[in-house]
Structure 1
Amino acid sequence: MSQNTRKLLGTVLLLVSIVAWSVGGMWIYMSFLGAAAWWALIGLFAIMGMGWFFPAAWIIRWMSRPDAE
């Protein structure tokens, strides 16, 4: 697979993962933490914000690999 194809596919994967991660965080908030204290909400949003980094970093690393010669 060429790097241009990986970049196109990776961009789509990043957009899909952003939407899925946001919906997942919203589901956790609405299901379990709707009436929680402010400090619990800050913790949830911090964990969700940091947790998205790892899948995104893997996708970006995969996108930037050079073509196999």
Structure 2
Amino acid sequence: MPVRLKKLIGTFLLVALVSIYALVATIVAVAHLGQSSGWVHLAYFLFTGILWVLPAMWIIWWMEKPPREKNG
């Protein structure tokens, strides 16, 4: 796969990941943390704010991998 195409796909995947992840994290917080204290909110958003980095790192790693050499 050409490098430019991988980077284009990766960019769209990262934007989709961040958008969907933020939406889901917020919906879960509203549904389950409504009556919780501020410390619980802080811990939840700190945890979920860092958690999205793991799949993003995998996407960036995939984007930056050099293309395979063709044997033939």
Q: In structure 2, what is the equivalent of residue 14 of structure 1?
A: 14
Considering only aligned residues, what root-mean-square deviation do their CA atoms show, in Å?
Answer: 0.7
Gaps of 5+ in 1: none
Q: Does 1:40 align with 2:40?
A: yes
- Listed one character per residue, the Cα deviations across residues 30-53 of structure 1 (whole Å, up to 9, x for unaligned) are 100122100000011111111001
Q: Report which of the two structures shows the higher radius of gyration computed on alpha carbons.
A: 2
Gaps of 5+ in 2: none
Supply the AA of the counterpart residue of 1:56: A
Q: In structure 1, what is the equivalent of residue 65 of structure 2?
A: 65
How many pairs were matched up? 69
Fraction of identical pairs, as percent: 32
Return structure 1 stretches of 4+ with deviation > 2 angstroms. none
Q: In structure 2, what is the equivalent of residue 2 of structure 1?
A: 2
Using CA pairs under 8 Å that are at least 6 residues apart, name the structure with larger relative contact order, 1 or 2. Answer: 1
Q: Please, what TM-score do these two structures have when normalized by structure 1? A: 0.94
Measured in 2, the distance between the counterparts of 1:25 and 1:35 equals 17
Q: Please, what TM-score do these two structures have when normalized by structure 2? A: 0.91
